[in-house]
Structure 1
Amino acid sequence: MLVSNLQVKLPIHETFQCTVQGEGYWTGALVDFIRLAGCPVGCPWCDTGYSNGGKGLPSVPQSIAQLLAQLQSPRVVITGGEPFIHQNLPELVLALLEADKQVSIETSGAYWQNVSPLAWITLSPKEHINPKYPVQEILWKRANEVKLVVSTGEELDFYSKYLVDNVNIPVYLQPEWGTRDRAIPIILELLKQHPSYRLSLQTHKFIGVQ
């Protein structure tokens, strides 16, 4: 049986506990968040502050043992930044599973490491924003859900080939927060063309929690 190394450290942007998942399949579920620091992709609308790579943002090394001591919810969401840039991510996932936690990982898909198959993977591709960071092919097969941030509707066209090839992956269309008044009607029209897809709203922002 594998045993995780609880002294391994990762750069932490922030953690927060006992909130709700606001997006995608697990919307409304009680969760803790572990936000790992750093992301090179540079989404201009990044609501975590990594549009410029995260210059000046907090990054505090914490051990896996320290992170485990903070946990309060049955599900833990590992997010960022981009979690898969961190070489110790598989160790963190293993430790969370050993602590009897359900694990979700949110990723752009630009990087991949071999994490436990028990981890739920939310793929939110950003290749259309920065073609230097294409989605790793394995993630189109490994992802448990795809979450597309929609501003113009052209995002769906960009990834249509991959979505057609992987029809069993649930797809959530999420309005980009800054243009949501324009994006929501676009998504409603897209749902008429793709009735198996779902609208994902950032519930946590509407109810005023992290």
Structure 2
Amino acid sequence: MPFAELEFPIHETFQSTVQGEGFWVGSLVDFIRLAGCPVGCPWCDTGYSDGGKHTPREMRSLSELLKEIESPRVVISGGEPFIHRHLPDLVRAILDLGKQVSIETSGAFWQDVAPETWITLSPKQHVNANFPVQVAFWERANEIKLVISTGKELDYYQDYLNIASDRPIFLQPEWHERDRTIPIIANMLRQKHSYRLSLQTHKYIGVA
């Protein structure tokens, strides 16, 4: 198949929106949400808590995806982007347009992507032990984002977070329980002064 005709299962794309989480919060970005994720996080906001049985998807070509890019940075999310074997090709094609690329991942599936790619590791091993974080991601990730639900997540990952201590580490309240979890995170920040609170700003301001 010609390179430009490579196809990807797409949940949705949107352009010229605002990154709401983590290091690049407030930046103008496009989003490409790749369909599919086996991890099954109960709070998943893109419909994969049950494996995505009822989540819409559409096969779209690489050339179609590239034509609609508008922003300086493109965020590839999911689902789980790293389950798609042509992810490195998609990343390289976007970089070749002179754009920056970020990928959000659970870290359960490893592929080599271009070294200039920004990797946001949001581990879900504590949610589903069948999908442990590939160890290489703790070294490769540019930032760590932990979704906080119970307050025990830091203890679960502490040894790995020590490996990534030179990277920014964000604690993000689980959205549906934010009134309960934000105070938990506030207490964590008193103990871990280098960690940061990450709110899902896009949900507060009502953008995609």
TM-score category (smaller protein): over 0.9
Structure 1 window deviating more from structure 2 (93-102 vs 162-171): it is: 162-171
Deviations 1:58-109 (A, max 9, x none): 1111111100111110100000000000000000000000011100000000
Q: CA deviation at 1:162?
A: 0.4
TM value normalised by structure 1 = 0.97
Q: Which of 189, 192, 197 in structure 2 is aligned with 1:199?
A: 197
**SS of equivalent to 2:130:** coil
Q: Which of 41, 60, 74 in structure 2 is aligned with 1:76?
A: 74
User: 2: distance between equivalents of 1:6 and 1:24?
Assistant: 32
User: 1: distance between equivalents of 2:151 and 2:54?
Assistant: 33
Q: CA deviation at 1:5?
A: 2.0
Task: Say whether residues 1:171 and 2:197 are aligned partners.
Answer: no
The residue number in structure 1 matching 2:51 is 53
**SS of equivalent to 2:137:** helix
Kept in 2: contact 1:41–1:53 (CA 8 A): yes
Q: Which amino acid aligns with 1:14?
A: E
Task: Say whether residues 1:146 and 2:132 are aligned partners.
Answer: no
Kept in 1: contact 2:88–2:114 (CA 8 A): yes
Q: Which of 87, 91, 94 in structure 2 is aligned with 1:89?
A: 87
The residue number in structure 2 matching 1:162 is 160
Deviations 1:158-210 (A, max 9, x none): 00010112211110000000100010000010001100000000000000001
Q: What value does the CA root-mean-square deviation take over the aligned residues?
A: 0.9
Q: What pairs up with 1:94-113 in 2 under 5 angstroms?
A: 94-113=92-111
TM value normalised by structure 2 = 0.98
Deviations 1:26-76 (A, max 9, x none): 000000000000000000010111000000211111111100111110100
**SS of equivalent to 1:96:** helix
Q: Which amino acid aligns with 2:104?
A: E
Q: Which amino acid aligns with 1:183?
A: T
- Shift >4 Å, 4+ stretches: none
The residue number in structure 2 matching 1:44 is 42
User: 2: distance between equivalents of 1:27 and 1:12?
Assistant: 23
**SS of equivalent to 2:53:** coil
Task: Count how many residue pairs are aligned between Structure 1 and Structure 2.
Answer: 207
Q: Which amino acid aligns with 1:24?
A: G
Q: Which of 4, 15, 18 in structure 2 is aligned with 1:20?
A: 18
Aligned-pair identity in percent equals: 65
Kept in 2: contact 1:11–1:61 (CA 8 A): yes
Deviations 1:110-161 (A, max 9, x none): 0010100010000000000000000000000000000000011101110001
User: 2: distance between equivalents of 1:126 and 1:184?
Assistant: 19
User: 2: distance between equivalents of 1:11 and 1:75?
Assistant: 21
Instruction: Identify unmatched segments of 5+ residues in structure 2.
Output: none
Q: Which amino acid aligns with 1:146?
A: I
